[in-house]
Amino acid sequence: MSLESGQTVYISKERYLEILGFTTYVFVTNRIGSFSGFFGGKRTLGQFLENFIYGKIAEEGIKEFLATKFGVGTLADVDIADFIQGMYLPDTIAVELGGLWEPAIFWIETKEVRRDQKWLLIPTSATRQRPYDAYVAVWVGLPDDHIAWLIKNVPQVAERLGEDWRRKMDELEKTVERIPCKVIGYALWDDIVAVNSAHNYKDAEISLNKRFGESGWYSFDGNTPLFDPEDPQWSGATVGENVGFALSRLEKASDWEKFVGLLKSNKRIVSERIAIKGRTGLPKEYKVFNDYREASLQWLKDQLADIQKRYGTIRRKDTWFIQKLA
């Protein structure tokens, strides 16, 4: 994938190391269960950490992009003064509005993409259980086996990963100075709804074709292989049920001024009728809510208020490497 200067940002080694510090904290304190895709799936610990760090770099990419291109400040969980709990959280925890850090109500999920990936894929099950207002695709240019740094610096991780990952430490000679990230584009919740309804409503299909072009969007049913709308000869793997947007079309269709406007307005797009059944991971006092999203938002607000009270700010001042592990 080409890196066009207009939407490419670079993450410093210092920020990368801070993400490793956060990852170390999450691992050593057994908090990885707070993040989906490990205990509930079939991935090894090494695969989980690899994907986890890639995802955090992608979050750093969109944060840097919004700050440098539009002057909008945002905070991810790595930037918060203490650990934020919850299995249903936005990747952008807070937005700077009027000089104050406000809890995010417009919820973003950042989806990292790599190498020759052609699609932004959003699992259909996730859109039913934990829908977000916007899904942002970010290409992350980390070298292979980058988590060897984590293995080298955290013996507990090396012990759990085993010999196969320890051998990769000897193979890694590169030094990460800065990491390129390309913010490719975004799809809104309304786009997800349109894809899901296009088979019944011609107007939805027309709207999607206008925005993404024909074949630039697709509802994968679990039996259809990935394809490239720009290259009919290309064929990829068969994926599960996903709503998909071709990255080449997504990039052209994304109006970042509109996105920033939505971010600043800080309002929910996802209908309250969508996210009402989930209760996973919520403390009992929040289960009285009829809407899982609203319950999760209130828990987030309460945690941020508590952090503000204890630290005087929600923004982290110290490195995660000195965070207490108790």
User: Residue 173: its pLDDT value, please?
Assistant: 39
* Residue 53: C-alpha distances to residues 6, 58, 113, 273 (Å): 24, 9, 13, 33
- Name residues whose C-beta falls within 8 Å of residue 220's C-beta, 6 or more positions apart in sequence: 121, 226, 239, 240, 241, 242, 243, 244
Higher pLDDT, 160 or 316: 316
pLDDT by residue (tens digit) across 11-54? Answer: 988 898 888 888 878 877 888 665 554 444 445 566 677 788 88
Domain span at residue 93?
A: 5-322
Winning range, highest mean pLDDT, from 4-13, 78-87, 230-239, 274-283:
78-87
Q: Identify the CA nearest to 275 among candidates 192, 211, 207.
A: 192
pLDDT band at 323 (very low <50, low <70, confident <90, very high): confident
User: Residue 171: its pLDDT value, please?
Assistant: 46
Q: Identify the CA nearest to 183 among candidates 59, 51, 80, 41.
A: 59
User: Residue 242: its pLDDT value, please?
Assistant: 96
Host H or E run for residue 237: strand 231-238
Percent of the chain having pLDDT more than 70? 80
Task: Report how far residue 251's alpha carbon sits from residue 245's, in angstroms, rounded to the nearest whole number.
Answer: 10
Higher pLDDT, 280 or 241: 241
User: Residue 169: its pLDDT value, please?
Assistant: 44
pLDDT by residue (tens digit) across 136-153? Answer: 999 998 766 556 556 666
CA dihedral sign of residues 18, 30, 111, 232:
positive
Q: How many structural domains are present in the chain?
A: 1
Task: Report how far residue 43's alpha carbon sits from residue 103's, in angstroms, rounded to the nearest whole number.
Answer: 32
Do you know the residue count of the chain?
326
Task: Report how far residue 89's alpha carbon sits from residue 91's, in angstroms, rounded to the nearest whole number.
Answer: 7
User: Residue 310: its pLDDT value, please?
Assistant: 97
List 134's β-bridge partners, or say none.
Answer: 108, 188
278 pLDDT above the threshold of 80? no
Q: Identify the CA nearest to 77 among candidates 69, 85, 87, 88.
A: 85
